Structure 1
């Protein structure tokens, strides 16, 4: 099955020489515009949001971006008849000389292009009773020997809202039989449980590689990848939010309303708050299993200094400098 090249720079509206800061700013602008929680046309926004996330996933990572830039050059050569670099294959299959079956997913939030080149490839977990590596084996009567199908692993893009509340996602999987070359499509649903953390593997029994000789199929494991949110980030079950505050709010303290994944909360900034200081709201993060316990919500303070001053503001700052006894601590 052919794989369509994805122009991630065009998706974010950037040139190939864009800096890391430009990539981050472009993503945040587009993510806020197309986030499904705020867009009126939710289906169209959701599709665009996934494209933006995929582009940012690659271009924000220096190693992935380097690989992508190199691949892009090869892909332009492919238009002139030169094939692109081959996808990653199973080491054991390659050693055994066994054809590598193809699998393409729909509904995971990632394109075939990303799955093939940037998610590590579809990887196979071989049965424990197969220490010598995969091989097609037959009985003395010429019948295929019973052998459980291998497991398949892929990625699934999950928004923080889905991770908070849980959801059910329709998934389709196209597989190419390496012996016949025929394309087979199966459709099924995958339940994303509340509290699905980044990196968690969700097992879908019986949707791996078909078994041999009447043996059962392997399993499909979908690895959760949290979609990058324009405001929040996650670490395990904890949620982080960066809050810009004024210098006087840091010095004098303040009460500010901040958003969370399930409503706003009032936050008290203590007097004398420091840049980078973390304020914790207990049990406002992602759920932890079925116990009712949740992770925490952390607000990271970013003290912002004014870059332009009116004449009146400058006078006030000069008066503060003249009257204040504060001196920075020696490093």
Structure 2
């Protein structure tokens, strides 16, 4: 038996199934900005993810196409590449697709082979999925980048062999259509995280750097892990949670391409503040409310 592992469009846009049009449009705009080639230095991985984001929005925003996709009809979704002749500028692109003024990817699907431990009768007719069946597969950075073959044992003993798509990333969710008992889908979530906490996404490496408020406010030098070993990162003064610092060339390499590492600043508050520390925070609060207070 042969099946196809497709990216789950809802997960690709970071949405729960059944989200409304306003939520869909907002998530699409956010992901399109994140992966548009104009904003990623023509990164080929970003181009592929950008195409996937467009495909997800095109299907989910069209009731007919969405119904076909949810029913597992991939043939009706086959079309030519709308970006074969190049990518429009981000601002023009959003204005046309979303109909609002602004200023400001398809991976090769995984191939699946299912081997049943015993001979089985013909599969039953399609049934409505009442629950999601999901497994997590851990990959190394190289396996995620190049694609690899993995085996998955379902709850009924069925063995599934599949090829993961290249340039995959941590958190990717693939749909294995109709491989579970009763014709249900099985979802496969990829986990690509090193022991040091480096998350892989295509050629890029993502890392969350936790800092205490004084270090973020005043700036500091801190050692952060990379795939090639630790490096010293200079955190600028006044860094807030969510700020991204780029370590160029510290991502994965394939052929003559090398990705970057993005370090996300996360400010944390110690849970065991002493009296003196609480007093300082109260003083800072007072100064924030009245900067002229002395």
Shorter chain as normaliser: what TM range? 0.3 to 0.5
Q: Which has the larger radius of gyration?
A: 1
Alignment TM-score, normalising by the size of structure 1: 0.35
